[in-house]
A and B are shown apart, each in its own frame.
Chain A
Amino acid sequence: ETGVTQTPRHLVMGMTNKKSLKCEQHLGHNAMYWYKQSAKKPLELMFVYSLEERVENNSVPSRFSPECPNSSHLFLHLHTLQPEDSALYLCASSQDVVTDRYFGPGTRLLVL
């Protein structure tokens, strides 16, 4: 595996379900990110981790819970989501927080 991988690629869940998104980067980067991409909206930065420490939480609802166990892995735990949370969730990594982001292919999430 090279670059940034994400699993699953597609996810359908009910509002009462609990699920997790997984991201893994094989680039030796020190920072990882979760973004939300909704139709007709700019990319929304959700969480930033630098050297496994959370740097920023952009007022994301608590039904989204990130976890960064090491510099190569990032999870997004989902709990009691709403239909408006349906979107493409993109993971990214970078060497440091200033430089360009390398993106994974995304998880297409549908909340019913």
Chain B
Amino acid sequence: AQSVTQLDSQVPVFEEAPVELRCNYSSSVSVYLFWYVQYPNQGLQLLLKYLSGSTLVKGINGFEAEFNKSQTSFHLRKPSVHISDTAEYFCAVSPTTNTGNQFYFGTGTSLTVIP
């Protein structure tokens, strides 16, 4: 079975500072990995995804993530955050053999950017 752990439930950071949101997963099979963002009163929006190839993945809004197979991690980073980045961030994992219900989300990390 797969699972996703987002170690930090809340991350406050000052504007223009760098941020890293941590995500670890457990799986006995190959996986695809995703990061989503959810702004207040909205649905989830895909930030980036890792399917194969380069382990450094670049997404929208200046975010990037690095897949580390040995550490089973997929941490999300941004070198300089804006106020508008304040939102909930979800990591998700799907085995490459997913038959429909095996798309697992973490519990989310609430990022608050402080002016």
Contacts and interface: CB of A to CB of B under 8 A. Distances in A.
Contact of B100 (A42, A56, A103, A108): A56
A1 interface: no
Interface residues of B, number: 23
Interface of A: 4, 6, 31, 40-43, 45, 48, 50, 55-56, 58, 90, 92, 97-106, 108
Given A48-B101, A100-B32, 18 more contacts: A6-B43, A42-B106, A42-B108, A43-B105, A45-B103, A50-B100, A55-B101, A56-B100, A90-B43, A97-B100, A98-B32, A98-B96, A99-B94, A100-B46, A102-B46, A103-B36, A103-B44, A106-B41
27 contacts: A6-B43, A31-B100, A41-B107, A42-B105, A42-B106, A43-B90, A43-B105, A45-B101, A55-B99, A55-B100, A58-B101, A90-B44, A92-B43, A97-B99, A98-B94, A98-B96, A99-B32, A100-B34, A100-B46, A101-B46, A102-B46, A103-B43, A104-B43, A105-B43, A106-B41, A106-B42, A108-B41
